[in-house]
Chain A
């Protein structure tokens, strides 16, 4: 019998989308968001906060091989995730800065480059990660008294799925990855509006990617972390009863993609957008975003 808990449902649906592709009407929307967020990362790459992070990473990270949008120097895997997530948050004209897109772009772009994925694969993983992040965040309580930044906390889970899909994790590994990710939730609203909020966009993605890598290497965790009595919803929503109906609700929300209108472009069309064709090697797209290659 197929598992029916929310964690199993979400991971199974994510894999199904990776296999069958994004719905036709979703693809252009996802592409627009991806390209816009990549451009935002390039814009945010020279901010003082990212410069500080970059000098820190240069001292302590491996020699980089992954291009970072808007920067000349390349970064190692986790360094790239941190820099791209932070820069995308800082370079965005939208609010909140630490957005669903910034977090999942960091995971999708870096893993896509590392794995030699096609643009289509990167886009699908990005879209799934964004959707899961948005669905989980929307399922949590909101309001002015809320101490959690729901987007950032949920982004750890979404970016884990983004990375896990590009790594080709099996469903059980994806579920373990989410279990590991839930133990690395970040994002209190006390930091909203500070440089740390942007840092947390990158950190959420780092924790998500790290969780997927650890699951790939066989590290075990709870495979039912969304619905577990002390799991994701239990700790982030004290009053929430964890029931099987959560699975149905999550499934419905997951399948309800945002309306199909084009996202508003942030500034002129980036030069690298033309290269963003479904079967193209994503490495060539990312390389074109680096400083000194193409503005």
Chain B
């Protein structure tokens, strides 16, 4: 008879003991890059309209503004700060992706860890330990539920984000294993977020709420909140069973401390869902061989997950373009790029875009692996061009080089804080592990 692994207590013990300084250099490197990515994104996007709207609501709620925001000197309340920072980090869909689960761990988890650090006066090394613990626990849990979790309709960024944010905050606050189990119990029952909001402002609320709820759960446990059940993940009445038809509990806890999922967290080169990045690559590769007006039809053969996450055929605005593989293919051909300018309100309805986008069709092909694409172009004069991309730019298999990553970060930060301050933000974030606190990091991002 098989026994149910003690997932919750095992992960709680692991998280309580995670130490950034003890991690292998490549793990530290991955954690630093995840953090720098979030700081740059949240700083650059700190004035996006949807972020402003949520911030304005929380101004009226008027909680004491003792916590810091990225990109603006104005403070915010304990829950508003991680909420706003988490939303800003994800609002452009340009952050990161753990491809196996299709979760974006940085946006919910880094803001929660930083809020906890500010509250506790924790040093940078402890903060980085929190980020490492949170990302690892959050990703491992949804990895063990993938792909059924996302296929059912859950957004792993919201669900893994809640779990990881609470663990990250708990690690920064110095929780022992029992407290970590309590915080997992209090947050697992709140871990939500539906894919149905893809293409709307609420998608970026998922990591935002995850960061805020995770921090709140940690603050309550720090005050003695009692246990919420001792098996919040693996219980027949717990998180896994509630959210996923197919569950692999063993995978959640196998090779702990040996296999680090944060190393599988890819940083996005394109400002849209990662499962369509290969389609952009393929279109860019083909654009020199055919002019857009000569294209009769583009067929994108993709795995099912692409249409689950990116199936909007006729996007009407910037938010919807980010969830349209049809749009991704189109801007790859037309612009040879996939940055924020390609996913704007203007490009969503531009005549050349709409014209070509209507000639793109998709075929679900189970033989195409996740993260890959086969793009087939039929031209008006009867030619057929084919481009197959197995691993997209900046995937785990083809990771961003340091130069590519620095280029992305600078493109985000320079328009916001200027070139000189950009150096300061990068230095403060990369050096967080050696800093005495997180206040200087926040201050470096204000513009």
Which stretch (B122-130, B227-235, B346-354, B369-377) binds chain A? B227-235
Q: A183 touches which one: B50, B62, B64, B194 (CB < 8 A)?
A: B194
Sampled A-B contacts (12; CB under 8 Å): A61-B77, A146-B237, A147-B238, A190-B228, A190-B231, A190-B237, A190-B238, A191-B228, A194-B226, A214-B205, A217-B54, A235-B152
> CA of A184 to CA of B231 in the docked complex: distance in angstroms?
22
Q: B201 to A190, Cβ gap below 8 A?
A: no
B362 contacts partner chain A, Cβ-Cβ < 8 Å: no
**Which residues of A in the span 124-167 have a Cβ within 8 Å of any Cβ on B?**
145-148
Contact between chains at B223 and A214 (CB < 8 Å)? no
Query: B245 contacts A238, CB within 8 Å?
Result: yes
* Chain B interface category by residue count: 35 or more
Inter-chain contacts of B1 with A (CB < 8 A): none
The answer to whether A235 touches B197, judged by C-beta atoms less than 8 angstroms apart, is no
What CA separation (Å) do A168 and B197 show in the bound complex? 23
What B residues does A47 contact at CB under 8 A? none
Please measure, in the bound complex, the distance between the C-alpha atom of A182 and the C-alpha atom of B186, giving whole angstroms.
19
Interface pair B197/A221, CB less than 8 Å apart = yes
Complex contact B61–A78 (CB within 8 A): yes
Q: Using Cβ atoms and an 8 Å threshold, which residues of chain B touch A186? A: 189-190, 192
* Minimum CB distance partner of B215 in chain A: A60
List residues of chain A with CB within 8 A of the CB of B155: 183
Is A60 a contact of B153 with CB atoms below 8 Å? Answer: no
Chain A residues lying within 8 Å of B188, measured Cβ to Cβ, are 188, 190
Q: Which of B159-216 contact A (CB under 8 A)?
A: 185-186, 188-190, 192-197, 200-202, 205-206, 209
Q: Which residues of B contact A189 (CB under 8 A)?
A: 237
Given contacts A186-B190, A238-B245, contact A147 B223 (CB under 8 A): no
CA distance A281 to B232 in the complex (A): 43
Q: Is A29 an interface residue (CB 8 A)?
A: no
Is residue B405 contacting chain A, with contact meaning CB distance below 8 A? no
Closest 9 pairs (CB-CB, A-B): A230-B153, A196-B228, A189-B237, A147-B242, A62-B62, A221-B202, A190-B229, A60-B78, A147-B241
Contact, CB under 8 Å: B54 / A214? yes
B225 at the binding interface (Cβ < 8 Å): yes
Interface size of A in residues (CB-CB distance below 8 Å): 51
Considering only residues 43-91 of chain B, those with a C-beta below 8 Å from chain A are 50, 53-54, 56-57, 61-64, 77-79
Q: Is the CB of B189 within 8 A of A180?
A: no
Closest to A200 in B: B189
Question: Which residues of the partner chain A approach B366 to less than 8 Å between Cβ atoms?
Answer: none
Give, as a whole number of angstroms, the nearest-CB distance from B424 to chain A.
Answer: 30
B219 close to chain A: CB less than 8 A: yes
Interface residue? A257 (CB, 8 A) = no
- A188 neighbours in B (Cβ, 8 Å): 188-189, 232, 237-239, 242
B153 x A234 contact (CB < 8 A): yes
- With a cutoff of 8 Å between Cβ atoms, the chain B residues found around residue A228 in the complex are 196
- A52 contacts which of B154, B190, B223 (Cβ < 8 Å)? B223
* Cβ-defined contact, A60 with B202, below 8 A: no
Contact A183 B61 (CB under 8 A): no
Decide: A179 near B196, CB < 8 A? Known: A214-B205, A217-B57, A230-B152: yes
> Cβ of A225 < 8 Å from any Cβ of B?
yes
A60 to B63, CA, bound (A): 7
Nearest CB on B from A257, distance (A): 29
- In chain A, positions 17-64 with a C-beta closer than 8 Å to chain B are 52-53, 55-56, 60-63
Interface membership of A248, Cβ < 8 A: no
Contact A194 B192 (CB under 8 A): no
Contact: B189 with A184, CB < 8 Å? no
Q: Is the CB of B63 within 8 A of A62?
A: yes
B196 in contact with A55 (CB, 8 Å): no
With A56-B220, A219-B50 given, is the CB distance from A184 to B209 under 8 Å? yes
Check B57 against A214 for contact (C-beta < 8 Å).
yes
Contact status A190-B192, CB under 8 Å:
no
Residue A5 lies at the interface, judged by CB distance under 8 Å to chain B: no
Alpha-carbon separation in the docked complex, A194 to B56 (Å): 35
Considering the chains assembled together, what is the distance between the CA atoms of A213 and B205 in angstroms? Answer: 13
Q: Which chain B positions have C-beta within 8 A of A200?
A: 189-190
A60, B236: Cα distance in complex, Å: 35
What is the CB-to-nearest-CB distance from A219 to chain B, in angstroms, rounded to a whole number?
A: 5
B237 adjacent to A219 (CB under 8 Å): no
Q: Does B415 contact A (CB under 8 A)?
A: no
Beta-carbon contact of B202 and A62 below 8 Å = no
Contact indicator B192/A185 (Cβ below 8 Å): yes
Instruction: Tell whether, in the assembled complex, residue A219 and residue B201 are in contact, meaning their CB atoms are under 8 Å apart.
Output: yes
**Beyond A182-B194, A228-B196, is A217–B56 a contact (Cβ under 8 Å)?**
yes
What residue of chain A has the Cβ atom nearest to residue B222's Cβ?
A56
* A225 to B, closest residue via Cβ: B196
